[in-house]
Chains A and B, each alone.
Chain A
Amino acid sequence: MKTTKLIFKLFLFNLVLISCNDNDKPGLEEFLDRYENGIMISSEGNFGDKDGSLSFVAGDYSFASNFLYKEVNGAQLGGLVQSVAFDDENAYIILNDVSTIVVADRYTLEKKSVIMAGLENPRYMTIFNGKGYITNWGKGADETDDYIAVLDLASNSIEESSKIALDNGVERILAKDNKLYVSHNGGWSSNNIISVIDLVDNSVGEITVNDNPDDIFFTTSGDLVVLCKGKPLVYGDPPNYDVVEATTSSISFVDVSTKTVFKSLEFSKNIRGTIMSYSEGNIYYYSDNRVYKISETATELGADGLDVGDIYGMRAKNDKLYTLEYAFSELSKLRIIDYETESDLYATAVGLGASKIYFN
């Protein structure tokens, strides 16, 4: 019986030892009443896990804070944060996988409204004349059901009757001079057009560009710059599965008055540009781990780029480069780099799968 007792004591002892819990929680938990004069970062989270999030970094880098919306509202956004659109008051947080837009105060992030009806696979939104225009893939596998949903910002409801049907794979959207410009990245497949919608009569025109047009911007002179990523054709070996063959990638310039491509800076064969940003006459683009800067008047692509590693999101402003590390199993890292001096100004961990940067 002595042995028995001993064994029992050992068991109890071990249970106590094992039960101890060692949570080490990271910092980054400073919260404010208003998130302004700084940088808002949206993180997608993983598709289906409903764990997209928002982060904020003060303009003077005095602090950074993650998972803000949950802190403010006590509930998660609840989906993959594809993008955010802003008007003076509100942030429209677009959740792709759950076909939802959460409307929150732009600066306090307090929830105001949630929009679901009329959305299916929403991607990006632009605001014009009291309306929000949201690109929607419809069903991913269906190439004929893409559309723009029209949101009445006063009532926060989608105007079903104003829906604009478009060709496959709608992505980015810009509004200018009563017209909408939509890049057709191609959704689950591929496409090669920019749609132009005249909001006077809702007529739709098309401009053909190279394959997989994604980021679009207007230059100060009013031309539309389009990043055509090229369509991946062949993937390489594991574990990286790099795209080894693709159709032509380019940065194309469109004269919107004639709807023609007047300049196209093409990448070398099987090299792709995948992210682009525009600031004060300069185009910053990302290709193969490097960011290049060219003038909007350039006639060829850049020669020397800045190595930034694997990134998933990028924005440039006043020659500062903001990059988001590609990370879906770790927290992404936000880096702020002075492009000219190539010096790091600031870095911090943001959410999982961070993808977009906004100035707030």
Chain B
Amino acid sequence: MMKNRFVSFFCFLASVSVFAQKDSIVNYLEEVSVVADKRNKQEALGQKRIVFNAETIVKNPTNFTSLLRYNSPIVFKDFGNGGTSSARFRGTSASNTVVLWNGININSVGSGQTDFNSLSANTADQIIIKSGGSSLQYGSGAIGGAVHLKDVLTFEPHKDYQFFSSYGSFNTTSNFFKSNYGGGKWAIKVAGVFNKSNNDYEYIDDRYTDEDGDSWKNENGNYINYGIDFSLGYKFSDVNKIYFYSTGYYGDRLFSYGLPNPSAGSERNEDFNQRNLLKWQYKFGGFTQLLNASYITQEYRYYADKDAGDFDFGKSQKALLDYSLAYKLSTIWSFKYLMLIESTHGETNKIESKVRNAFSYGGIVTFKPSSKLISTLGIRKEYNSDFEVPLSVSLSGEQKLGGCIWLKANVSANYRVPTYNEMYWPIVGNKDLIPEHSKQGELGVELEKYGFKLNATFFYIKIKDKIIWRPVRNSNLWTPVNLDAAVNKGAELFLSYSKKINRHSFHFSGNYICTIAKDSETKKQLPYAPIHLMNYTMEYGYKRVKMYLQDLYQSSVYTNRLALDFYSLAPVRVLNLGVDIAICKNNKKTLVLGGKVNNFTNELYYFTNLRPMPGRNYAININYKF
């Protein structure tokens, strides 16, 4: 029985999620899961991953920040709803979080971060949240963790379509369409996304009101964004496959100013992102080779005054060629050689055009003496045209204990190279910066039994030469310096449980993270690193009706390194309640109508000082799969 479930679980992950969508039970069970995907095991051996698919996405469709905030162990700092948003794993900094699109690092060249409200993940087939360092696989920035967006192409004959649309308070609408097709030789995915909102929610903080004593509104917070994905796969044979992925995105946002004077807001920001990837997989003898060629462009335009025509801009183009050759010597030993050539070109209206070239190579040895033990050792060396990059090393192991428990361990050395802004910003850019580097380890246990899935992982990260922007004496300038060291330690817990009795179903999925992240000098908790973060979704279904509760708790965070109460944000607790009704449900089609009350207790909460998040608000949606 156990084995069967295991097998079907793997099949689910190994296949396109739309396959699974036909089988609503499987899908239902696997909304958020700890990954045990054997295929990609090497990518995260010894580490913790969780995966979401479309079923999770539709519960928090408005932006990527809210999706991850309610479903992942990541802490977000966003400047009000829809504003600039950055992600932190395990108390590390925003530039220690890597975002990957089909395996390609898409963090901004300028800031080294990704703004989680300037990309849409709604059309991704899989979102993988991998906690822990992984510079071995992903290079710079992979210290805290990685967020991986995947488009999945499969050749087995299938035609799956999904249309989702939601509309709610503040004239907010989120929509996407996705079609996945497999025809033996061909696999095609076409998807589109469109989001728009006036985002003019009321500020429910009654300590700050206008001259008449009325509540303020989130002025100047409108956003609109849309994107399109096109992916194509062709199978010459079982051992020879070629894939092409392409996506384009445009976002236009106004940045609200928050309290105490929302009417002072006048900023606007536009984002233009385009990404292309060609991937060729070829197997011969015991070898598997994979070639990725990618070209991505990113551009932002920032208008300090939305009514004035002039703007600041940043543009980058990145071309990369990534080659790996894996060889399976025996059932016990396998080897992999990796190589990556990357050329990045970046400029802003303040930074003259700069080109950075990097070459890296490495190797991974996998040792699997039995079905109960697997371990890998990998080394990667990068040569960068701008500075010396430390060696990345990763040693991982997984040991099966008993029937359903895996013990996982990983130690690694990772890095984050200085960004363009840090090095080249006029006057304050610091060309003497060296990469941040970390040494870290984690030990976890993963268990799956009786409908339970549990992953508990302890982590320890020591980061040195952290790049921090510091004020320059006697001026209004700030400059980045390699200054701080920090030790982050704690535990991450993931738990899910599913049970079905006759026509009743119950599902729980949640994360809890405890993070003690301390500056090595001041011994104080780092800014924006809550000691406790918890989120969970609890779902109960009866026949065609499903109700769910989402709960988020974040303990108080400091807003600067002083770690004083005055410079802190109060703990956050938000509860959302939703209902889904399946109007029509058969093998071919499912039509679900849903409704959701977000923040139904109308709680006042902040993720940045004096930029309130919305009070109670509503949305209805339609989710049609055919």
| A329/B561 in contact, CB under 8 A | yes
Mark contacts of B436-448 with chain A using CB atoms, 8 A cut-off: 1 yes-contact digit, 0 otherwise.
Answer: 0000000001000
**Any chain B CB within 8 A of the CB of A268?**
no
Chain B contacts for A66, CB-based, 8 A: 566
Contact of A25 (CB < 8 Å), options: B260, B305, B564: B564
Q: Is B565 touching A51 in the complex (CB atoms < 8 A)?
A: no
A116 to B471, CA, bound (A): 29
A242 to B474, CA, bound (A): 8
Given A239-B430, A239-B481, answer yes or no on A99-B562 (Cβ-Cβ < 8 Å).
no
- Count of CB-CB pairs between chains A and B under 8 Å: 132
Contact, CB under 8 Å: A238 / B432: yes
For the complex, give the distance between the alpha carbons of A242 and B166 in Å. 55
Contact A98 B260 (CB under 8 A): yes
Q: Which residue of A lies closest to B472 (CB)?
A: A241
Q: A18-B489, A49-B609, A70-B566 are in contact. Are A240 and B560 (CB under 8 A)?
A: no
Whether B473 pairs with A18 at a CB distance below 8 angstroms is no
Which of A4, A11, A240, A326 has a CB less than 8 Å from the CB of B456? A11
Complex Cα–Cα for A99 and B261 (A)? 7
Among listed B34-42, B99-107, B399-407, interface-contacting one: B399-407
B208 at the interface (CB under 8 A from A): yes
Task: Report whether B564 and A26 are in contact in the complex, using a CB–CB cutoff of 8 Å.
Answer: yes
Contacts of B473 in A (CB 8 A): 240, 310, 326
CA–CA, A35 and B396, complex, Å: 62
Contacts of B548 in A (CB 8 A): none
Q: Inside 8 A of B263's CB, which chain A residues have their CB?
A: 116
Docked Cα-Cα span, A67 to B259, in Å, equals 18
- The reply to whether A18 and B514 contact each other, CB–CB distance below 8 Å, is yes
> Which residues of chain B are within 8 angstroms of A25 by Cβ–Cβ distance?
564-565
Closest Cβ of chain A: how far from B43's Cβ, in Å? 25
Interface residues of B in 543-564 (CB under 8 A from A): 559-562, 564
Does B428 lie at the interface of the complex (its beta carbon under 8 Å from any beta carbon of A)? yes
Interface residue? B491 (CB, 8 A): yes
Interface status of A21 (Cβ within 8 A of chain B): yes
Does the CB pair A78–B610 fall under 8 Å? yes
Chain A residue with the shortest CB-CB distance to B206: A75
Q: Does A136 contact B (CB under 8 A)?
A: no
Question: Does A235 interact with chain B (Cβ within 8 Å)?
Answer: yes
Expressed in whole angstroms, the minimum distance between the Cβ of B440 and any Cβ of chain A is 16
On chain B, the residues within 8 Å of A263 by CB distance are none
The answer to whether A15 and B491 touch across the interface, beta carbons within 8 angstroms, is yes
Take A18-B516, A51-B559, A78-B259 as given contacts and tell me if A238 and B479 are in contact as well, using a CB distance cutoff of 8 Å: yes
Interface of B is mostly: loop
CB distance from A96 to the nearest CB of B (A): 11
Provide the bound-state CA to CA distance between A75 and B566, in Å. Answer: 10
Mask, B413-433, CB within 8 Å of A = 1, is 000000000000001101010
- Write the nearest CB–CB distance from A48 to chain B, whole angstroms: 9
Cα-based distance from A140 to B476 in the complex (angstroms): 14
Q: A interface, how many residues as a size bin?
A: 35 or more
Report yes or no: B472 in contact with A14, Cβ–Cβ below 8 A.
Answer: no
From B210, B260, B432, B479, name the one whose CB has the most chain A CB atoms within 10 angstroms.
B260
Who on chain B is nearest to A29 by CB? B565
- Given A25-B565, A352-B562, CB of A7 within 8 Å of CB of B445: yes
Proximity string of chain B (76-119) to chain A, C-beta cutoff 8 Å, 1 when within and 0 when not:
00000000000000000000000000000000000000000000
Q: A98 contacts which of B261, B407, B458 (Cβ < 8 Å)?
A: B261
Chain A residues lying within 8 Å of B259, measured Cβ to Cβ, are 50, 78
Known: A7-B445, A14-B491. A240 touches B472 (CB 8 A): yes
Q: Do B427 and A4 have beta carbons less than 8 Å apart?
A: no
Q: Chain A nearest CB: distance from B295 CB in Å?
A: 34
Complex-state Cα separation, A352 to B564, whole angstroms: 11
- Residues from chain A with a CB closer than 8 A to the CB of B561 are 329
Residues in B neighbouring A74, C-beta threshold 8 A? 207
CB distance from A18 to the nearest CB of B (A): 5
Separation in Å of the B531 CB from the closest CB of chain A?
6
B557 smallest CB distance to A (angstroms): 13
Determine if B257 is an interface residue (Cβ-Cβ < 8 Å): yes
Q: A residues 211-248 with Cβ under 8 Å of B?
A: 232, 235, 238-243
By a CB distance below 8 angstroms, the chain A residues around B428 are 238, 241
A239 lies within 8 A of B516 (CB): no
A330: Cβ under 8 A from any B Cβ? yes
Task: Flag whether A139 is at the interface (Cβ < 8 A).
Answer: yes
Interface string of B217-232 (1 = CB under 8 A from A): 0000000000000000
B578 interface residue per 8 A CB criterion: no
Interface check B490, CB cutoff 8 A: yes
Q: Is B14 an interface residue (CB 8 A)?
A: no
Chain A hits for B609, CB < 8 A: 49-51, 76
Q: How far is the CA of A235 from the CA of B474 in the complex (A)?
A: 12
CB neighbors of B among A111-150 (8 A): 114, 116-117, 120, 139-141
Most buried by B among A3, A114, A238, A240: A238
Nearest-Cβ distance from residue A5 to partner chain B, whole angstroms: 10
Whether the Cβ atoms of A76 and B430 lie closer than 8 Å is no
B260 touches A100 (CB 8 A): yes
| A275-323 interface with B by 8 A CB criterion | 310
- Given A75-B208, A114-B260, CB of A4 within 8 Å of CB of B564: no
Which residues of chain A are near B567, meaning CB under 8 Å? Answer: 51, 352
Query: In the complex, are the beta carbons of A330 and B562 less than 8 A apart?
Result: yes
B260 with A67: CB separation less than 8 A? no
Residues on the A chain within 8 Å of B479, using CB = 238-239, 241
A18 touches B474 (CB 8 A): no
What is the bound-complex CA distance between A95 and B610, given in angstroms?
14
Q: List 5 A-B contacts (CB under 8 A).
A: A53-B566, A70-B566, A74-B207, A116-B261, A139-B305
20 extra interchain contacts, Cβ-Cβ under 8 A, other than A116-B211, A116-B261, A329-B470? A7-B405, A11-B491, A18-B489, A19-B531, A19-B532, A21-B531, A25-B564, A49-B559, A49-B560, A51-B566, A51-B567, A67-B566, A78-B208, A78-B261, A116-B263, A139-B304, A141-B304, A232-B475, A239-B479, A241-B427
Q: Which residues of A contact B (CB under 8 A)?
A: 1, 3-4, 7-8, 11, 14-15, 18-19, 21, 25-26, 46, 49-51, 53, 66-67, 70, 73-79, 95, 98-100, 114, 116-117, 120, 139-141, 232, 235, 238-243, 274, 310, 326, 328-331, 351-352
